[in-house]
A and B are shown apart, each in its own frame.
Chain A
């Protein structure tokens, strides 16, 4: 097939509304074994993205086995019944393919991007590890990836400045019984305890077609792809349905003020709240609030802390939305000689202000316009993390509708400024939050207010 870069206009612009209508046409099928399949054609480049979600993440882990879902993800690349160790990557590289995977609290995703001639190879490899992983599993492989994951923890958390702060925050935002209490990377102790038998048990329970959804996007002929998916995945027994993770709603009944020492030069303040789960009322409003507070030079907190007062080096605010609950963050690093206390006072003033009076129309439009642009650029790539195949899968899992792009964006377009203040008032409460000061070693006095010392495990 001859491929050029000039093809279709997928996105007609609605002139009347002056709003771009986003649309990612798809088809959805459920195989008899329960595997969901979503297909989307995009012939921009001769590339196909194969994206598989297993509906299990660190939230499903047992006590004493934190980090297991992620360790298991690593083992998925180490060979399966018909694919010797090392061949998964070798075969894909030889075909011009790339691959990766990631684990969150709610799900584990795997993606393979291949040139369009190598789709069947990708399906063969992906189906072999779904159907035959245990045939090739050994204690040595578990030990090998255990060492790799421990180094991932060292590299991404322990040896990174402020790297343990996120773990401390989740431990304090969520009660020990809540599945978001512990980190996806796991503790060193639990990683050491993970066994070969755990791997087999986890695979049998969670890595079954009925607990997975497969999204394929790119340079495809949908009829051909359906037949190939049926060929390679159809034989795999569907397995038992997995009950959704059951968790009582998380809530904080107090303000926790914490302090942690780290090998850093400058102190950093973290303010964290529990917020509505993804797509629940308030979720979109708080996303906009984060942009109004700290997105861009003229945002409220950036302008005051970094631009006018120059007491902070940086300011970040974002909501991290998940299936069971979300967290809302404000993070600021102090300039040398400036205190976290004065930074916190300014943040508090701005929170009090936005609760009392809604943001201006221009502030809201500025935020919505930035969201609109980001939704357009999200339609450019088919593969990898955040490509269209991944997004179709995410929307399917969260809403039942893979092409939820326009509905998702419409949430932001419809927001009334008053609602942003309303959700700021109910969510960003002073009496239900975690305030963490990370201070340079030996400088505990730099914490904001009186704070209880915590030490990362």
Chain B
């Protein structure tokens, strides 16, 4: 095997310096100078003749390209009684397209060394391609087939249904998954798409047909709901031609989204205890309804959450992990969506200290409303703002940032203004948004753990009524999968 020559750079001056080896002054940490400027070259935009907008960023360091096609429809558009349809449609788009059946399609993608994923979020779906630039043309042809000409074979749907029902069975084993589902269900109810698992239920999955998928795709995969995002080792000129050839004949159309039930904020406190006998830890999820992504307080909320539970030195992690050793980590987050997504604080704690951990959670949720120091705000602000440039290293990262801009119709200057917007958040802003959004008197507390050990100590805290739930209550009865031929 050929070995590369190892370049040894050894400066004589450095040797002399080292020989004298004076100790550096460690009495104070070196102060960083002013932060480096960061900006992204302009996003180049053009529109194909059929109205499909294209957002393109050239990035030439590595010979790769990322091409994302997104549509503004997702699991929130599942028709009544058909939960799981959007996410199944996304999955099925890769199970046969154009002239290729599922196996040929997968084999051809793998042969190119390309990756194509297809997923559904609540309000957007995306088909994403990453490929070495030298194989872009054949990869783009497969990608366009998946977007435009999925075939939805009935036999493939039958396979995917069993796979999903089996996954629903496996979820019963996972305390983390149970915790998240129980919290969403309690916050949003059984009628709102945010409240039910987006993969669907046994009933809706069994009733789903290939025509349902085909119709969902035909309704929402239209250029007037779509955008293309291209990041990588390409130029605008070549991509205008290639994308025009691949997507230019795509025709517009009109879909109608189902009306959604109103979202109601939590009133009072409710403790949901899901029994998981023998669990070594209790999964804690504390939540309430958060705020939509479009809120003018977005930047203040990001900074506030960083202080509370969004960084290692956040209050929740320092308290529950570093001070008390109850857990491997504790955190909080706002799940920002077009409609108010959940705010949640979460941890997995040793079973025996579940009650003590809850006391500390409540203390921190109360504390963030009461006072906050300038030093905490400065640290959180800098952490969010100054780590931001490192989110622009890979073509997939950059395309993801642009996806967010498209979904929320953020201004062109969004990326280049981000750091300044975060750095201008004040202590007063942070305290104000904490008081508006964090309210430990009106929350849902979900505990997934060993009921016989944790119930009495938690009851003694007198936080509110405890509703005992079984795994069946959270997920429905276990799917019946054996011998249903």
**B255-301 CB contacts (< 8 Å) to partner A:** 278-281
**Complex contacts, A45 vs chain B, CB 8 Å:** 38, 389-390, 392-393
Interface-lining segment among B58-66, B141-149, B185-193, B199-207: B58-66
Is A177 in contact with chain B by the CB < 8 A criterion?
no
**Complex contacts, B379 vs chain A, CB 8 Å:** 90, 93-94
Least CB distance from B196 to A in Å reads 21
Is B333 in contact with chain A by the CB < 8 A criterion?
no
**Complex contacts, B159 vs chain A, CB 8 Å:** 307, 310
**Complex contacts, A352 vs chain B, CB 8 Å:** none
Partner pick for B21 among A159, A234, A313, A362, CB 8 A cutoff: A234
Least CB distance from A3 to B in Å reads 5
Least CB distance from B375 to A in Å reads 8
Partner pick for B382 among A31, A83, A95, A307, CB 8 A cutoff: A95
In angstroms, Cα B130 to Cα A86, docked, is 40
Closest to B133 in A: A13
Is B175 in contact with chain A by the CB < 8 A criterion?
yes
Interface string of B294-325 (1 = CB under 8 A from A): 00000000000000000111000010011001
Interface-lining segment among A51-59, A262-270, A342-350: A262-270
In angstroms, Cα B33 to Cα A11, docked, is 32
Category for how many chain B residues contact A: 35 or more
Is there contact, CB below 8 Å, between A232 and B24?
A: yes
Is there contact, CB below 8 Å, between A18 and B134?
A: yes
In this complex, how many residues of chain A approach chain B with their Cβ under 8 Å: the count is 120
Is there contact, CB below 8 Å, between A151 and B328?
A: yes
Least CB distance from A229 to B in Å reads 9
Interface string of A392-416 (1 = CB under 8 A from B): 0000000111111011001100000
Is there contact, CB below 8 Å, between A154 and B350?
A: yes
Is there contact, CB below 8 Å, between A154 and B280?
A: yes
Question: What are 8 inter-chain pairs, A to B, with CB distance below 8 A?
Answer: A5-B41, A31-B18, A45-B389, A121-B30, A144-B325, A265-B169, A337-B483, A371-B113
Is A429 in contact with chain B by the CB < 8 A criterion?
no
**B13-43 CB contacts (< 8 Å) to partner A:** 14-15, 17-19, 21-24, 26-27, 29-41
Is A44 in contact with chain B by the CB < 8 A criterion?
yes
Partner pick for B14 among A1, A124, A227, A406, CB 8 A cutoff: A227
In angstroms, Cα B327 to Cα A148, docked, is 6
Least CB distance from A393 to B in Å reads 14
Is there contact, CB below 8 Å, between B64 and A13?
A: no
**A102-140 CB contacts (< 8 Å) to partner B:** 113-118, 120-121, 124-125, 128, 132
Query: Do A159 and B279 contact each other (CB < 8 Å), given the known contacts A296-B107, A373-B131?
Result: yes
Least CB distance from B136 to A in Å reads 12
Interface string of B385-407 (1 = CB under 8 A from A): 11101101111101000000000
Is there contact, CB below 8 Å, between B41 and A6?
A: yes
Closest to A2 in B: B37
Is B11 in contact with chain A by the CB < 8 A criterion?
yes
